[in-house]
């Protein structure tokens, strides 16, 4: 048993809609918190302003009266140390640096925007501006009047959040007497209540023009003309616009990369702070105790920002409880005698569980998810996961191969999150697994050491199959990728020493597809049997 101290304070990063919602919900759970604004100010995200700025202002007023909230304005994070239970965060404001400790962190950075003027080859002007600028004019009661044309992004297509905002702006323009046209490739309706809103807009005279290609925008004598092809009458049509309003493309906050680096959080390919992986649903990141809410994780309709905020507060409650000392069991250990301080484990750990402790490498059992990537990658075999130690796995191998029958024996190292579940499912379904197929459960494909595969072959297995999750479905993000590159390399080595490399194969599978897994398994075992017989 190890004793660990959990700090009960929470840090929320971001003062936009997601940040304020998260803060409100976390306070409701009774935790003290600090809210950091990195310079964007405390105001609702522009894309939600029309939808619910009153909710935002009410909430923030309520929070401002709360003495348990510390507001950190216009500061940057310069350094982050520690782990779940005890993060040390250094805030820099001007030349002043202040350190604060937190038990958990909620990242709720607001969106950033890029108006797509480039797409239409124009510069902003008094009569050509962005949707966000229009919202501002509307809020100041300076609604432009005349013929207004909204141009959405055609290059990347819009999304339900931007589109809803455009519709809301359009309705308000329409209400103040303007003729409104919206050009869009696909109408984005996939958001609660949006289809009704679109219908309402249409009934109020707003014209939505769908087109495969973006309309042309030609500015003559400062007058914008929008020209588009009407496929029904097979003619170009021109609208002389008084105002052209250009979509603000929603992009991830520009600070996200910095936060990703500081906290060791993986991003998706767009730059949002949650990988595109169902295992992270709803608010999880690759690091325990660090959660993402709403706009930090992806483009989400407002109701889902709220469920994220509630979910994060609930997860924090589950992790921190009342704070203070907790006892945990040691689940993973490093043999300091064997360790050569190469830091391979530190580099490969997807969960930030490994750290440098004065003069040696340490692993936090509190943070460790037990995937075992470090243990398989360690060149000195110095790291052991208690539940899946090398001795235990090799012991299982020995037992299986001892009672080897006449037919071929194929060892299946199966990830507990996918292949192992599929095997269980097959058994429940009564689907026959290939004869001689023996399963060894592993916590992640990333745990499968090349040594295990070699040992299986040496001890008499005819083949080895590694059952891994699909790419982008690994609970530890990269366990399956480590597995596939190890197997690839192993196959090359096997070929060099004269062993048919096709005796070892890696199979990707989902836990809910037992039949498919059995079909693939059958095919492979037949192939392996052909090789060895």
Q: Where on the chain is the footprint of other proteins (CB under 8 A)? A: 28-29, 52, 55, 156-157, 159-160, 186-196, 199, 210, 231-232, 268-270, 272, 276-278, 281-283, 298, 302-304, 306-308, 310-311, 313-314, 317-318, 417-418, 421, 424-425, 428-429, 469-473, 508, 510-513, 515-516, 519
Parallel/antiparallel/unpaired status of strands 248-251 and 112-115: antiparallel
Among residues 202, 200, 163, which one has the least CA distance to residue 184? Answer: 163
| Shortest Å distance, C-beta 472 to other proteins | 4
Region of residue 85 (phi > 0: left; psi between -120 and 50: alpha; otherwise: beta): left
Q: Using CA atoms in the order 450, 452, 457, 463, what is the torsion angle rounded to 10 degrees?
A: -90
Residue 179 per-residue DSSP state: E
| Shortest Å distance, C-beta 277 to other proteins | 7
Which lies closer to other proteins via its Cβ, residue 247 or residue 308?
308
Q: Could you give the CA distance from residue 364 to residue 352 in angstroms, rounded to a whole number? A: 9
> How far apart, in Å, are the Cα atoms of 208 and each of 180, 198, 288, 493, 518?
9, 9, 46, 62, 51
| Shortest Å distance, C-beta 317 to other proteins | 8
Q: Could you give the CA distance from residue 124 to residue 121 in angstroms, rounded to a whole number? A: 10
| Shortest Å distance, C-beta 101 to other proteins | 25
> How far apart, in Å, are the Cα atoms of 518 and each of 332, 401, 422, 483?
33, 22, 8, 21
| Shortest Å distance, C-beta 474 to other proteins | 9
| Shortest Å distance, C-beta 299 to other proteins | 8
Beta bridge partners of 239: 226
| Shortest Å distance, C-beta 391 to other proteins | 28
Which lies closer to other proteins via its Cβ, residue 74 or residue 157?
157
Which lies closer to other proteins via its Cβ, residue 313 or residue 476?
313
Which lies closer to other proteins via its Cβ, residue 82 or residue 282?
282
Parallel/antiparallel/unpaired status of strands 128-130 and 243-246: parallel
Query: Which position has the token pair 């269980």?
Result: 424
Say which residues have a Cβ less than 8 Å from residue 497's Cβ, sequence separation at least 6.
Answer: none
- Longest Cα pair distance anywhere in the chain, in angstroms? 89
- The 3-state secondary structure of 30-99 reads CCCEEEECCCCCCCCCHHHHHHHHHHHHHHHHHHHCCCCEEEECCCEEEEEEEECCEEEEEEEECCEEEE
Say which residues have a Cβ less than 8 Å from residue 42's Cβ, sequence separation at least 6.
Answer: 15, 20, 60, 71, 73
| Shortest Å distance, C-beta 29 to other proteins | 8
| Shortest Å distance, C-beta 266 to other proteins | 13
Which lies closer to other proteins via its Cβ, residue 112 or residue 418?
418
| Shortest Å distance, C-beta 199 to other proteins | 6
Which lies closer to other proteins via its Cβ, residue 47 or residue 400?
47
Residue 398 per-residue DSSP state: H
Say which residues have a Cβ less than 8 Å from residue 509's Cβ, sequence separation at least 6.
Answer: 418, 419, 422, 467, 468, 469, 470, 516, 517, 520
Which lies closer to other proteins via its Cβ, residue 218 or residue 431?
431
Which lies closer to other proteins via its Cβ, residue 426 or residue 457?
426
Residue 502 per-residue DSSP state: G
List strands edge to edge, sheet with 76-83. Answer: 76-83, 86-93, 96-102
Q: Could you give the CA distance from residue 3 to residue 193 in angstroms, rounded to a whole number? A: 50
Which lies closer to other proteins via its Cβ, residue 351 or residue 508?
508
Which lies closer to other proteins via its Cβ, residue 378 or residue 423?
423
Which lies closer to other proteins via its Cβ, residue 67 or residue 231?
231
| Shortest Å distance, C-beta 334 to other proteins | 30
């Amino acid at each position: 048993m190890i004793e660990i101290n959990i700090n009960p304070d929470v840090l929320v990063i971001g003062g936009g809609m997601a940040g304020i919602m998260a803060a409100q919900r976390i306070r409701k759970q009774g935790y003290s918190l600090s809210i950091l604004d990195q310079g964007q100010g405390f105001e609702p995200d522009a894309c939600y302003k029309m939808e619910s700025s009153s909710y935002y202002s009410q909430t923030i007023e309520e929070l401002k009266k709360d003495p348990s909230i510390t507001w950190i304005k216009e500061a940057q994070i310069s350094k982050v140390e520690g782990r779940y239970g005890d993060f040390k965060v250094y805030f820099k404001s001007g030349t002043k640096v202040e350190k604060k400790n937190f038990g958990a962190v909620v990242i709720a950075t607001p969106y950033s925007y890029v108006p797509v003027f480039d797409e239409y080859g124009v510069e902003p002007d008094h009569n050509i501006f962005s949707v966000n600028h229009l919202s501002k004019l509307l809020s100041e009661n300076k609604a432009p009047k005349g013929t207004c044309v909204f141009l959405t992004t055609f290059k990347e297509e819009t999304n339900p959040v931007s589109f809803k905002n455009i519709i809301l702006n359009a309705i308000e323009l329409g209400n103040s007497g303007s003729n409104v046209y919206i050009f869009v490739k696909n109408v984005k309706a996939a958001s609660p209540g949006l289809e009704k809103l679109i219908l309402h807009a249409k009934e109020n005279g707003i014209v939505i023009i769908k087109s495969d290609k973006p309309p042309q925008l030609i500015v003559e004598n400062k007058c914008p003309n929008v020209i588009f092809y009407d496929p029904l009458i097979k003619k170009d049509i021109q609208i002389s616009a008084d105002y052209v309003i250009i979509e603000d493309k929603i992009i991830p906050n520009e600070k996200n990369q910095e936060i990703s680096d500081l906290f060791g959080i993986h991003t998706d390919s767009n730059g949002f702070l949650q990988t595109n992986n169902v295992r992270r649903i709803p608010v999880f990141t690759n690091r325990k105790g660090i959660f993402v809410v709403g706009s930090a994780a992806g483009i989400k309709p407002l109701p889902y920002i709220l469920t994220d905020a509630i979910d994060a507060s609930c997860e924090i409650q589950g992790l921190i409880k009342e704070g203070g000392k907790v006892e945990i069991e040691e689940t993973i250990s490093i043999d300091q005698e064997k360790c050569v301080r190469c830091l391979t484990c530190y580099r490969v750990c997807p969960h930030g569980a490994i750290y440098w402790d004065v003069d040696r490498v340490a692993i936090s059992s509190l943070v460790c998810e037990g995937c075992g990537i470090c243990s398989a990658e360690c060149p000195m075999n110095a790291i052991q996961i208690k539940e899946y130690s090398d001795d235990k796995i090799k012991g299982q191998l020995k037992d299986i191969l001892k009672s080897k029958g006449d037919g071929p024996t194929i060892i299946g190292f199966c990830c507990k999150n996918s292949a192992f579940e599929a095997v269980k499912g097959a058994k429940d379904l009564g689907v026959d697994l290939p004869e001689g197929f023996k399963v060894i459960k592993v916590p992640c494909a990333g745990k499968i050491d090349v040594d295990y595969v070699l040992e299986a072959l040496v001890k008499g297995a005819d083949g080895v199959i590694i059952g891994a999750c699909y790419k982008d479905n690994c609970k530890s993000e990269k366990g399956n990728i480590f597995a596939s590159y190890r197997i690839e390399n192993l196959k090359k080595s096997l070929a060099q020493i004269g062993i048919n490399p096709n005796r070892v194969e890696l199979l990707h599978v989902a836990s809910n597809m037992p039949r498919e897994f059995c079909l693939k398994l059958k095919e492979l075992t037949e192939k392996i049997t052909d090789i060895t017989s």
